[in-house]
Structure formats: structure tokens, C-alpha cells
Chains A and B, each alone.
Chain A
Amino acid sequence: MALDVFAPWEDPNAKPLIQFQNVTKRFGDFTAIDDLTVDIFEQEFFALLGPSGCGKTTMMRMLAGFETPTEGQILLAGQDIGAVPPNKRATNMMFQSYALFPHLSIWENIAFGLKRDKMPKDQIGERVEEMLRLTRLEKFARRKPHQISGGQRQRVALARSLAKAPKLLLLDEPLGALDKKLRQETQFELMDIQETTGTTFVIVTHDQEEAMTVASRVAVMDHGQIVQVATPDVIYEAPNSTYVADFIGDVNLIAGKADPQGDKLHLHWADGQPALVGSPLAGITKGQDLHYAIRPEKVSISAEKPADAANAIQGEVHDIAYLGNISTYHVQLPGGQIIKAQAANNRRISRRAFTWEDKVWLSWTDTAGVFLER
């Protein structure tokens, strides 16, 4: 790996900024976080991704100090912060609702945290101006929160939480309230600001696209546990479980029995059908239950059987979803299972090659998909 790539999690000597050590959090009978251990490094843009109720918000609130772990420790720069109240922590949070103080102007909102630190007046002024410049809000300093638009409010919330130059910035669904177009623009803005300030960001989101776009690493969560922590490309290309594969993007999942054959692994998934071929997993025994995951865009669709494909299955076009730039074909296999295949629409629709009930061949290489044990 090249030296200029930012990947402290691969460096065994790197000191993590935040360490969750066997953290469990219970609310009454409900276990929100279940024996969770993870490290987050300085200057990372770390995303907690999962459906609602998976525990991601609880993790963030424990970092901010609004919840304390039932068991285990949370370390910030090596110090246990379990007993430190939120107002004494070097972390700041950007709230999902933005939580802008409606009775204070934009300027006063941004200065709020600085005033609590008893910073001298002229320094507060300078810092607020700097934050206003960073978030391009100079024109709105004197306005109240209800006098600016949703996108501007989002930037005020960001400016306010960054003003105290926290070691760690927590962002709770920061873009959830924005419409899609504004959200995409703002994602890049967030990344720019994170890079300029060098602050460590932890973002909570249920939007996988957002997590993939902004984060240096993504932690996919389910039922209070982290299922996988990895860079976005690894999460997408090499998910460690059907849960992750299914949660991130679109995927075809095929269940079957394993059959290791030399340096390849075969999967018997239906009687009378050729086995699927792929790269092996360690420690797989013959006859073991396995899943095969393949992304729709990696499946090619053709009228004739391709001569050199490692995997080729025949089926019938069941449905076509035309999405403009691409079309997704839902192809029914003889056993009834539906496999999705995507093809780019580089020709006009009238000259589309396949239509409903056409017999087609689906094919992909032996490295296109992955085998999953769970």
C-alpha cells in the first residue's frame, strides 16, 4: 500500500482517538449496544450505518455524553470518558433537528459555545467570522434561524458545532432534512470542511449512499453490534455477510451447498443446473450451506450462451425496470428464482435487445461474486 493513502487502521502502531472496549448499553430489558468493540482514528470520517433501532444513535449519544455505557469503557485519546458530563467533553455534536436556538441570531448561535469557554470577546468575534466564512453564511449573521432556509440552517448547525474546534465532531443524520439534490452537494461540502479543519468526524446515517460517499470507513450495524467495519469499496465489493451485502446496494443472493474443487469453490444451488464457480473461502467443507452474492451490474445478459463465461444460466425475462441511464432486467430461472441484471442503455429504447418473456443467458466471471458464510 502506498504511503500517501490515509489508512491508520492498517498501521499497528497508530493510536486510536476513540476506543469502544466491550461496551454494552441497556435500557431496561432492551439491549441497545451489545458488547461492542471498535477503534476510530484521528482525522477519520467514520460512518455508522444501519437501519433505525440498530444502536447507531445510542453509540453517538454515548460519545457525546448523553448516555453512559452500562458495561465497558469508552476512551477518548486514551482517557476513559464514561463519567465526563457532555459540557466537559472535547466533543461537539450536530443534531439531526439542528437544534438551533430560535431566540438567538445566527451569529449568537455560533458564538454560544465559545462564550461558555469564557473566550475573550475579540477572539470570539474572529472565530465566529471564520466559521461564517467557512460555511459561506457571512450575509446571514444577524438573522434568526427561522429567517433562513433549511440548507442554510444545516450549515449554521455545522458552524456552531465546529466553532469550539472539537477533537471529535458527531453528526447525527446531518443531511436527513434536505432534499436529494441539496444533500448531494452538501455531502461534498462536508468532506471539504472535514479535510480543511482536520477534525475527526463520526456520522450516523441510515442512507448507505451517503455513508459510502463521505466516509473513510463505514461500520454497518445491526441489533447493537457492528457487523462489518471497512472502507466503502471493501464493504461493497467484499461484504462479510448477506446482511451487509443486502443492506448496501442491490444484490442477488443465491443459497446452495459448497463443493471445494482445487483453487475454486463450486456451489450447487439447484438440480439440473451447473454449479456456480467463484473464489474460495477459507475453512469451507463440502456440503456446507453457503450464500453466493452477485451485484446486478456484474451480470451480463445476452441472447446466445457466451462461450467463455465461468458462470452462465438460462432464464426468461420477467420484468424490465427502465431507469433512464440503465435498465434492470428481472430474469426468472427455471426454479422460479429471480436474478437481476443491469445493462447500460447506450442505445435508444426502441432498439432495446430484450423484451418480456424472451429467453436470455445470464453470465459472469468467477471473480464477480463472493461466497458468504452467514
Chain B
Amino acid sequence: MRRLLIAVPFLWLLALFIVPFVIVFKISLSDLAVAIPPYTPTLDFAEGWAGIKAFFAELDFENYIWLTEDDLYWKAYLSSFKIAVISTLLTLLVGYPIAYGIARAPQEWRALLFMLVILPFWTSFLIRVYSWMGILSQEGYLNQVLLWIGVINEPLIILNTNIAVYIGIVYTYLPFMILPIYAALEKLDISLLEAAEDLGCSRFSAFWLVTIPLSKQGIIAGSFLVFIPTIGEFVIPSLLGGSRTLMIGKVLWEEFFSNRDWPVASAVAVVLLLILIIPIVLFQRNEQKQREADQ
């Protein structure tokens, strides 16, 4: 009984999560070909041992070498990293005051405010990104308002730039930042701040010396939750970014769907995965620490 209970989900994930990666890795070592499927070699068991030997002989790291030679790829990795770091910091800057505001709101309001943060998370990601297209475009609502007030004379070009990508990321990933910080701040005992003020801190230094350090775990968790998915983001740079916005998720998509170069797309995926392992492991460790501290 117990065995069956373990085996069903285990085998499912093995077949539909692990095995696909093995295949991706294998194809990343193959060569492009004009065929169906568009790569060689393919494993042919009909030829027996010789077939298997021939199959392995033809695998090589050519595609990985290609990734280092064509500067498109490493620029894309670098640019993804840069965009992810900057937008994580921006999300933190926007998210912290909101989380703080909710945690300090009157008790009877908190549940409602909390729900208002979660609600966008349930609505379609695609629609939320799309909603900014009409706002940021050259004749969009933002430019209309700014021109009307008279702050600017010429419409700003925001859509199809990296700025639009930052706005899109901050907007869609904001709940991921607010929730862990709110969770940390809500646990914080107000009397700690009163004690700090009683001992001579100003309001601001009490915030800096007590609130910030005690919400550190939430800040770290929130930052990872924004940073990790942003690196491989595809929808936001495609809709809001321009032709010069380089992100690796977009490159992979185009390599696959437009160039139909499956081996290179697979190599891009493998490298992206290797890059992501570091923040994922760090995140898991942070969560582990948090769980131990809570016990």
C-alpha cells in the first residue's frame, strides 16, 4: 500500500520531469539536421550494439562551444542576469513599504489588504502584462496624462524598452515580494520597537536597527522568489521589451520556434538550468534555516 502510494507520484515525476531533461541534455549534444526530428544522431536500437556505439560517437559539445563563440548568447545570459537583479531590487523597494503598511494596518483591515495583494496572483499573468501595453505605448494613457499635465512636451518612448520590462516585472511579481515580507513583519512584536525607542532610538533608527534585521528572512525569500523566475522570463520581454531587449528565455523560444535549431535551444536550456541551480540551492537553504528557526 505504502509502496504504491510512493510509486505513483514518483514514477509520474520521473517520467515527465527527469526523463525529459535527460532528453534535452542528449539533444544538446547532437547536431542540427534537415530532417524530422531536426537533429542527428537518433538512437536506432535496430542496429544493435553498433548503432548504440555510433550514436555515442556522434555526440559532442559543439553546441556549447557555439554558445561561447556567438556573443548573442552570453550577452543574453548577462543581460537576463542584469535585468533580474535590477528588477528584484525595484520590486523590493516598491514591495517593502506595502508589506510594512499592511503589517501595521489595524487588525480588522489586514485580512482584506492581504487578500487584495493575493487577488492579482489569481488573475491571468498574460493579461496583467498586456494591461501595461496600452498604458506605456507612445499614444498610451501615461503619455496622455503627462502631456495633459504639461510635464512633458513630447511623448516618452517607454514601451519596447527595458524600462517597460522592469515595470512589467515589478508589477507581476510584486505579490511574491510582499507576501514573505509581510509574513516576517506580522510576527514582529510591536513592543520590540517600543523598547528600542524607550532605550533612546529615534523612530527611524528603531526601524533600521530592529525592523529591517528582523524581516531579513522575508526580504531574502521574497528576493529569490522574484529573481529566480525572472531570469528565464519570456512573456514580459516579448510583449513589453523591444528588439534590443535580450533575455535568455526569449532567445531560447526564438531558437526553437523561429530558427528550429533544437540542439542549440537545448544547450541554451542546459546552461540556463546550471546557472539557476545556485540561486535555487541558496533559496532552499534559506527556507530550511527559516523552518528550523520557527521550530
Answer whether A and B touch in the complex at a CB cut-off of 8 Å.
no
Interface positions of A (Cβ within 8 A of B): none
Interface positions of B (Cβ within 8 A of A): none
